[in-house]
Amino acid sequence: MNQWYLTKVKYVKQFEDGRLKRVNEMYLIDAMSFTEVEARVANEIAPAIKNDYVIDSIAKKEYSDVFLYDDSDTWHEAKLKYISVDADSGREKVVTQKFLVTAHTTKEAYDRMVESLKGMMVSYEIPSVRETKIVDVMPYSPSEQAGAKVGDIASKFID
């Protein structure tokens, strides 16, 4: 399972009309550690920011899967519930999982979740779907991390 980190980055953003505003944007990053999250922010997000930035927080998030549709960039979190039976004791247990999906509306996100999960062998329900403030999701890419060294990452913060 992927290890997702919800990261809040605070910086001063310049809009197309020239005005400046302090923003706090959220990114979901798939990484192996908190240190790698900081490195990915420095390598992938910071170059797009013209001013200084601060990583306001990093928190682990548990998402079972992320469904990206190219026609939308609004992320929705869907909660899924189903009943699982323990093979040893025979007890039923309610399992809750969270998913992310891109869609224009909450209704469309619900429909896309149903479409994405139509192969599930157990019956399930989707009790909630809500829009998130996540700006971007960055899946793990081992090829990107292979070239980065700890010294390269540390040198960006030491000057």
pLDDT, tens digit (0-9, with 9 covering 90-100), for 72-87:
999 999 999 999 888 8
Q: How far apart are the C-alpha atoms of 133 and 154, rounded to whole Å?
A: 29
Q: Where are the domains of the chain?
A: 1-61, 63-133
CATH architecture assignment, domain 63-133: Roll (3.10)
Model confidence pLDDT, tens digit, residues 20-73: 889 999 999 999 999 999 999 988 888 888 778 999 999 999 999 999 999 999
Amino acid at 83: I
List, in order, residues 6 or more apart from 128 with CB less than 8 Å away: 78, 79
What pLDDT score does 52 carry? 87
Contact predicate 3/30, CB 8 Å:
yes
Say if CB 94 and CB 37 are below 8 A apart. Answer: no
For every residue of 18-74, which 3-state class applies, written as one string? CCEEEEEEEEEEECCCHHHHHHHHHHHHHHHCCCCEEEEEEEEECCCEEECCCCCCC
pLDDT band at 143 (very low <50, low <70, confident <90, very high): low
Pick the residue with more confidence: 17 or 50?
Answer: 17
Mean pLDDT of 87-104: 91
